[in-house]
Amino acid sequence: MKIDRNLKVTVESIEDLRRFLEYERRGTGRGRVGDKTLAVLADMLNRPGAAAVESISEIAAHSRVDPSTLTRLGKRLGFTGFTELQDIFRRHVTQTQPFYSTRIHERVLDAQGNSQTELLRHHAATECQKLLAAVDKIDPLLVDQAADLLASAKNVFVLGLRATYGLSFFLGSYLATIRDNVRILGGPGQALTSDLIAIHKDDLLVAISFSPYTRNVVTSVDIAKDIGAKVLSITDAVSPLEVAGSHGVTIAVDQPFYFDSATSHFFVLQAILLATARRIGPAAVEVSKRREFIDKALNIEVR
């Protein structure tokens, strides 16, 4: 933790936050942070897993303060607001804790004493808040650029492994209803080497991964760039998948991805698909009709 002559604080780690808390509690900080705010910070430090993934409203409600208290805390710590403060906890959890078991543990504890109706309503409200927060941070121009790449590439390869395979399957399946030459990578029994060797210079790799990142997806992005193919990375902020300029486009969904936090991520994929369909135009309808004709001939669907 660094403090300049004007008492401006620079925080870069959980350890810095703990030092700041002690610094303020000793009165060294001249009382510039109130007791309630310090209590919130102490609670976050006691529950780093929850602090890394819960919304600002959830954390505020747990500590019985207004969300603006967390925003002011973030600014007092030298950040633009709460999101950058929360990133400290996200990095800490990724580096030091088993992410999935920690998240399940927090959710099991949170559920105690609540009815299923209360849990459903709380979860719905939380996901709505995360969705609106994600939409506010996404640049519409980047969605347009992503649509351009998806519409113009000779072949599109969609890659998401482990938990994000569901996202890649969703995007790839529906993209294939509006354009030809779409391939979903990383399927059961298929070696990733055989998948990636098919990518060439005029193709597009759509790479999907969120913290904690899957190493093979990160490596695949580097391979695609070396080949000269474009990359559309759908990831979170400050990600190793990030690309820009001649390499492609990155769309960051700045929300934690897990089974209880996925609405924002599917929404962004839907927005990209809609923009791509509009960019392709009438040809998208023709592709869809051809697929429907084949599905009907195979008698796939039951109505």
Delineate the domains of the chain, giving CATH numbers in brackets. 2-107 (1.10.10.10), 137-298 (3.40.50.10490)
CA dihedral 261→266→271→273, nearest 10 degrees, is 160
Q: List Cβ<8 Å contacts ≥24 apart for 128-136.
A: 129/55, 129/56, 129/57, 130/55, 130/255, 130/261, 130/263, 130/264, 131/263, 131/264, 131/267, 133/55, 133/254, 133/255, 133/264, 134/253, 134/254, 134/255, 134/264, 134/267, 134/268, 135/264, 135/267
In 3D space, the residue among 156, 178, 159 whose CA is nearest the CA of residue 168 turns out to be 159
pLDDT value of position 182: 96
Amino acid at 39: A
Please name the helix (run of DSSP H) or strand (run of DSSP E) that holds residue 131, with its range, or none.
Answer: helix 116-137
Amino acid at 65: V
pLDDT value of position 110: 65
pTM, two decimal places:
0.71
pLDDT value of position 157: 97
Distance of alpha carbon 150 from alpha carbon 143, whole angstroms: 11
- What is the bridge-based pairing of β-strands 230-235 and 156-159? unpaired
Contact 81, 71 (CB under 8 A): yes
The angle that helices 140-152 and 263-280 make with each other, rounded to 10 degrees, is: 60
Contact 158, 175 (CB under 8 A): yes
pLDDT value of position 4: 47
Contact 152, 179 (CB under 8 A): no
pLDDT value of position 153: 96
Please report, in tens digits, the pLDDT of each residue of the chain (303 residues total).
455 444 456 678 888 888 888 878 776 555 567 888 888 899 888 888 778 777 888 888 888 888 889 998 888 888 888 888 888 887 777 666 566 666 676 667 666 667 888 878 878 888 888 888 888 888 999 999 999 999 999 999 999 999 899 999 999 999 999 999 999 998 776 688 888 999 999 999 999 998 888 889 999 999 999 999 999 999 987 788 998 888 999 999 988 788 888 999 999 999 999 999 999 999 999 999 998 888 888 888 777
- What is the bridge-based pairing of β-strands 2-3 and 9-10? antiparallel
In 3D space, the residue among 154, 196, 187 whose CA is nearest the CA of residue 169 turns out to be 187
Number of Cβ within 10 Å of residue 165's Cβ equals: 19
